[in-house]
Structure 1
């Protein structure tokens, strides 16, 4: 049984009957199955009980992990994890009725160990995800170092199919400096509204003080912070942040802080607040002036 478990473990948590039979006996497979140390998830496909669900689903369908599930596999920031694994099958391959439930796509998708490549994963996510979520994944992929921006730009320019133009625009805006998905969403709100001049992770520094702003406008001395759930994790963190805020203020910086709820559920208020702080007229007035 140890041999069966070891073989499946080397395969990432699941393996086909043929892959197992190449190194272990059919009796060993049956014994491991009867003992409950492996599971049969589809005809001719076996997995360890704790194997990654997306990978099991993909192999049960004869496909590869893709889209948002692949983004999770590569450690990219996914704002809304999928309810079901995303799996891509080769064109023309039918869904297996005995396979595990999943969201199926059909395409010739390059993969590594049955997961779409990081670059292909970003492009797939940009195609199906809302723009803000797609940008967050692209930012995270660049930050991780798994995806090169120039290669991503080139791949986007060669794309065909639905949403091609939107994908190219988002890839152009993707930035490795963004440090969280919430920061990426906040930046997307600025992009969508046509507000320019904010720099991700802007460094504010002099001889006595140094701090980084999630987004900073050097000319306006206006900073934006995207505060997640655990921003003040400890009393010490709160004290440190209060001093940071005071130091920024005496250096002429105004800092607007927005919570997860603000950014995700009240983006119009967020943008209106930024416009007012930046001295910008509402968007409708700006459009009238431009006309």
Structure 2
């Protein structure tokens, strides 16, 4: 990339406009780079290099450049990304602005903001952490919303503060869902899929499971993703990353054997189970509880 455009790109989190590119390249040169895949369109009239990761900072800045606004604030899941909260992984960028619009990749919300609602994070203006968490809890799918709330608590938010913030949203879409999920949130959850698995259990009417249950066995302390100590039943989210390969299988088998010897029954849930067939782990757990 030529020096003039490199300087502009670096000031804009990796994004640059077609007009800025044409100050350094001919139209034919620019078209060649786009056709080869060297440059990738982010939003209308705005590009990034293919090797540049489309971070939330880049996407928000690209949205500002595309719309031609003096400033935009990251909101909803995009703000949650900036705060380090767990999010669904959607590619849609959410910002607050005067010129409202909605496409599959960019949503400009016309939400009002009050004093203290915005802050600067990683060089980008965004809704503050507490408002962001409540906005996501109101508007996202329940499974994803609880994962965001759990991670927010893990990073220092409190249920008291979240409930207080939710009162400011009373009457808005999703208020009831937000309050319900805030009361279920638990900062002990160590991954988004653990949060989603826990909500599936609660929604199915099982007693509320305890996250990160510690079990003292004859071979030392063991920990389960979720558990019901009263019934000595555990539930593990079977992550392909953690539970794969011969070494992982041997480790899991030994762990499972010691838990079984201590009277625990452990069940497993995969991503497919959680998203599509939760009955695969819910019903065996329900039957085991009845038997005990």
TM-score (normalizing by structure 1): 0.76
Question: 1:139, 1:174 within 8 Å by CA — same for their partners in 2?
Answer: yes
1:135 counterpart = 2:146: yes
Which stretch shows the higher mean deviation, 165-174 or 199-208? 199-208
Partner of 2:288: 277
Change (3 A) 1:108 1:14: farther
CA distance in 2, matches of 1:215, 1:225: 6
CA distance in 2, matches of 1:231, 1:31: 44
CA shift for structure 1 position 104: 2.5
Within 5 Å, give how 1:163-202 maps onto structure 2. 163-202=174-213
Structure 2: gaps of 5 or more residues: 31-37
Within 5 Å, give how 1:259-270 maps onto structure 2. 259-270=270-281
Partner of 1:23: none
1:107 counterpart = 2:118: no
CA distance in 1, matches of 2:185, 2:154: 10
CA shift for structure 1 position 228: 1.9
Partner of 2:168: 158
1:236 counterpart = 2:247: yes
CA shift for structure 1 position 103: 1.8
CA distance in 2, matches of 1:127, 1:67: 10
SS at match of 1:210: strand
CA distance in 2, matches of 1:73, 1:204: 36
CA distance in 2, matches of 1:86, 1:30: 24
Partner of 1:68: 77
**Post-superposition CA distance 1:79-138 (Å, at most 9, x none):** 3x224312222xxx22489x9951222212433222322222211111111111110111
SS at match of 1:114: strand
Partner of 1:87: 95
**Post-superposition CA distance 1:210-243 (Å, at most 9, x none):** 1111111111000011112223233222211110
Change (3 A) 1:164 1:40: closer
CA distance in 2, matches of 1:124, 1:221: 37
Question: 2:75, 2:94 within 8 Å by CA — same for their partners in 1?
Answer: yes
CA distance in 2, matches of 1:31, 1:193: 55
CA distance in 2, matches of 1:137, 1:46: 30
CA shift for structure 1 position 47: 7.4
Change (3 A) 1:245 1:100: closer
Partner of 2:34: none
Change (3 A) 1:225 1:95: same
CA distance in 1, matches of 2:40, 2:153: 37
Question: 1:8, 1:15 within 8 Å by CA — same for their partners in 2?
Answer: yes
Question: 1:199, 1:216 within 8 Å by CA — same for their partners in 2?
Answer: yes
CA shift for structure 1 position 163: 2.0
Change (3 A) 1:168 1:15: farther
Question: 2:46, 2:62 within 8 Å by CA — same for their partners in 1?
Answer: no
CA distance in 1, matches of 2:256, 2:128: 41
Aligned residues: 261
Question: 1:217, 1:223 within 8 Å by CA — same for their partners in 2?
Answer: yes
CA distance in 2, matches of 1:157, 1:132: 22
CA RMSD of aligned residues (A): 3.3
